[in-house]
Amino acid sequence: MIIDTHIHLDDNRYDEDLDAVMERAREGGVQRFIIPGADPSTLDKAVSIAERYEDVYFAIGVHPYDKEAFFGLDFEKYVHHKKCVAIGECGLDYFRLEGSDEEKAEEKRVQKEVFSAQIKLAKKYKKPLIVHIRDASSDSKTLLLEHNAGEVGGVLHCFNADEQLLSLADEGFYFGIGGVLTFKNARKLVQVLPKIPKEKLIIETDGPYLTPTPHRGERNEPLYTIFVAQKMAELLDMPVEEIEDLTTENALKLFDIS
């Protein structure tokens, strides 16, 4: 059994064959699916999918690229839903910073404001965080520690292999490993993977993005978690069945689902 802890089933690239995508995944051993909240404009769709399928859950949150939408999102409307298991994906992403130094500084300020607000909401509602970090490890770690995010913990989604973040394992954070692990240029993640406590590893796809080898160039889907599990097993010198059991147990514990 595998749990895909980060799959954007509300993306329109699944609209025409969602039932088939789900069936392929289940036949391949994927038994639970979590849709992260990224763009509030598709949140109702995510809720609808979670209500349609017994094995699908969702999170509510705002991706840093959609930060302006945070201020109009009614968390109370969604966070008490029985299928809502987390806050996020939220975090910091400095990859696309553009403009003058002043404009970049303002962009960072607003991202930090929105991220901090979502950490506070996670603590208020006692939900774990789904954290997105890109080119912003130091600031992200600082905010998580300043706001005592360890009270609820969470997952560092699509873990970027930055070793300074490994200490967050002691703060209740897990590390989401996806298709990037199978990429030829993933040398850093390959080296860091054994340093992550095994009880803090979980599997994700981030579909429809970051499709693992051998399906690079295609739309990603939950079935392809099997390739992530196989690569993890190879690198950690463990049976793939043990990886599946371990990461499933970790995900069930983190998101408090049965």
Say how far apart CA 113 and CA 110 lie, in whole Å: 5
C-beta of residue 75 within 8 angstroms of C-beta of residue 40 = no
C-beta of residue 161 within 8 angstroms of C-beta of residue 192 = yes
Q: Which amino acid is at 4?
A: D
Q: Please report, for the chain, the start and end positions of each structural domain, with discontinuous segments joined by +.
A: 2-255
Note the pLDDT of residue 258.
Answer: 77
Concatenated DSSP letters for 74-138? -HHHHHTSTTEEEEEEEEEE-TT--S-HHHHHHHHHHHHHHHHHHHHHHHHHT--EEEEEES-HH
Say how far apart CA 218 and CA 229 lie, in whole Å: 19
Say how far apart CA 151 and CA 143 lie, in whole Å: 13
Note the pLDDT of residue 77.
Answer: 95
Three-state DSSP class for residue 39: coil
CATH for 2-255?
Answer: 3.20.20.140
pLDDT tens per residue across all 258 residues of the chain: 999 999 999 999 999 999 999 999 999 999 999 999 999 999 999 999 999 999 999 999 999 999 999 999 999 999 999 999 999 999 999 999 999 999 999 999 999 999 999 999 999 999 999 999 999 999 999 999 999 999 999 999 999 999 999 999 999 999 999 999 999 999 999 999 999 999 999 999 999 999 999 999 999 999 999 999 999 999 999 999 999 999 999 999 999 997
Note the pLDDT of residue 114.
Answer: 98
Say how far apart CA 41 and CA 13 lie, in whole Å: 15
